[in-house]
Amino acid sequence: MAAIASVRRQAGLTALYLGIFATLWFSVPENKPPLGTFLLVGSIMALATVGAGIALLVSSRGDGPMPRDAAADRKYLVIFAAELAAAGFGAVLLAETGRSEYIPVFVGTVVGVHFWPLAPVLKDPALRVLAVAVCVAALIGLIAGLVSSVPAGTVAGAGIAVLLLGYALGALIRGGLMGRHSPA
C-alpha cells in the first residue's frame, strides 16, 4: 500500500510540476494563427493537468504519510539550482550578444539535460527519455531558426511544451491506474 501511495504521489507531483512548465513553454511562441489555437488548447490542457495532479496528490493523502528522503531532496535542489544558473547565465549571454531569439533553444537544452541527473534522484528512469526528447526538440528549433524564417523559439517552445505535457499526462495515467489496482 505504501508503494502504491508513493507512486500516486510522485505521479501527482510530476503532473503538477510538468503541467506548470508545459503551460510556460506553450507561452514561448508568438500566439498568432495558425499556431495560436494550438498553443491555447495546449495551455488549457496543461492547466487541467496541473489541476488533476493536485487532485491526485490530495486524494493520495489518505494513503498515509509520504516518507521524505533528505539526501534526494538535497540532490534535487542542487540539480535545480544548477539548471537555473546555467539557463539564466546563457539567456543573459545570448541577450547581450544580440541572439535573444535563441534563448528558448538554449534554455530548452538546459531543461532537457537537467532531466538526466534527475532520473535516479526521482527514481524515474523514463526521465532520461524525456531528457533526450527535449534536447532533440531544442535542436530542431535551432536548425529551423538557422535555415528558415520560422523563429527558433517557436519550434523549440511548442515542441518542448508538447513533450512536457505528454509526460505529465502519462504520469497521471500511471498514478490513476495505480489507484484502481490498489486493494480496497
pLDDT for 124-160, tens place per residue?
A: 999 999 999 999 999 999 999 999 999 999 999 999 9
User: Could you tell me which residue, 182 or 118, shows the higher pLDDT?
Assistant: 118
38: amino acid identity, one letter: F
Please check whether residue 174 is in contact with residue 7, taking contact to mean a CB–CB distance below 8 angstroms.
Answer: yes
| pLDDT tens sequence across 80-115 | 999 999 999 999 999 999 999 999 999 999 999 999
Tell whether the model's pLDDT for residue 184 goes beyond 50. no
Tell whether the model's pLDDT for residue 183 goes beyond 80. no
- Predicted local distance difference test score (pLDDT) of residue 143: 97
- Predicted local distance difference test score (pLDDT) of residue 173: 92
Its sign, for the CA torsion 18, 92, 79, 66, is: negative
From first CA to last CA, the distance across the chain in angstroms is 10
* d(C-alpha 50, C-alpha 69), whole Å: 24
Provide the pLDDT confidence category of residue 60 given band limits of 50, 70 and 90: confident
Tell whether the model's pLDDT for residue 171 goes beyond 90. yes
- Predicted local distance difference test score (pLDDT) of residue 86: 98
* Average model confidence (pLDDT) across the chain: 90
Its sign, for the CA torsion 70, 71, 77, 81, is: positive
Q: Provide the grid cell at 143.
A: 536548425
* d(C-alpha 146, C-alpha 150), whole Å: 9
* d(C-alpha 109, C-alpha 115), whole Å: 10
Please check whether residue 138 is in contact with residue 105, taking contact to mean a CB–CB distance below 8 angstroms.
Answer: yes
Q: In a 10 Å sphere around its CB, with 0-12 CB exposed, 13-18 middle and 19+ buried, how is residue 62 labelled?
A: exposed
Domain tally, the chain: 1
Element housing 44 (H / E): helix 35-59
| Domain ranges, residue 121 | 2-180
Tell whether the model's pLDDT for residue 46 goes beyond 80. yes
Provide the pLDDT confidence category of residue 172 given band limits of 50, 70 and 90: very high
Please check whether residue 141 is in contact with residue 108, taking contact to mean a CB–CB distance below 8 angstroms.
Answer: yes
Provide the pLDDT confidence category of residue 176 given band limits of 50, 70 and 90: confident
User: Nearest CA to 179 among 61, 20, 51, 16?
Assistant: 61
Residue with grid cell 517552445, as numbered in its chain: 157
Please check whether residue 164 is in contact with residue 1, taking contact to mean a CB–CB distance below 8 angstroms.
Answer: no
